[in-house]
Amino acid sequence: KTLKSQLNPHFMFNAMNSIRALIEEDPESAKVALTKLSNILRYSLQMERMERVPLEDEIETVKNYLDLERIRFEDRLKYKLDVDRSTQKIEIPPMMIQTLVENGIKHGVAKMTEGGEIKLKTKMMTTSNGPKLKIEIRNSGHFSEEQLKSSNGFGVSNTKHRLNLLFGDDAHFSIMNENGDTVLAEIEIPV
């Protein structure tokens, strides 16, 4: 409930300020951006009543979120979504991917002078326990284990807790420095 009631106020203010700046400069783009913001707000209100949502709905919200952030970051933010069609109807906890993408921008891309990239990939995998949805979220940046442990945000610990509540030991979440300049968050959910 805490996570569901939390909508990052900084994102909201940044999005509204970006849209305000677009109004005179590019009114058509401002209209599109306002629609994307409205879609995100509608999704966050609807998900309050849901334990799970189709992956495709979450991905649409993530895309709207990334498009709004690109207004603010301009060329400093790039993203790539690689969503396997066979995964689109699988149900996942709402706002889980969006929260991890937001963390990737806040703690990675935004801190880099040259900016960076968010890559999201979904695929089906076969395990000894049956089929699983695998979600990979990569972002430019680097994190320290100590900062992660002392963080008071809801993102990582809440993701682990939610997966455990819904799927028990059949789900998996990890976050690691993949190399010197990329962070990888992986989620595995039983289908």
Q: Give pLDDT tens digits for 4-58.
A: 455 566 677 778 888 898 898 889 989 999 999 888 888 877 776 788 899 999 9
Query: From CA 91, how far away is CA 8, in angstroms rounded?
Result: 23
Q: Give me the average pLDDT of each 10-residue run along the chain (191 residues).
A: 56 83 90 90 77 93 93 93 97 90 91 95 93 97 74 70 90 92 95 92
Length of the chain in terms of residues written: 191
Residue 34, pLDDT score: 93
Q: What is the DSSP letter of 51?
A: S
Residue 156, pLDDT score: 79
Residue 144, pLDDT score: 77
Residue 117, pLDDT score: 97
Structure tokens at 87: 């995964």
Residue 154, pLDDT score: 52
Strand, coil or helix: 88: coil
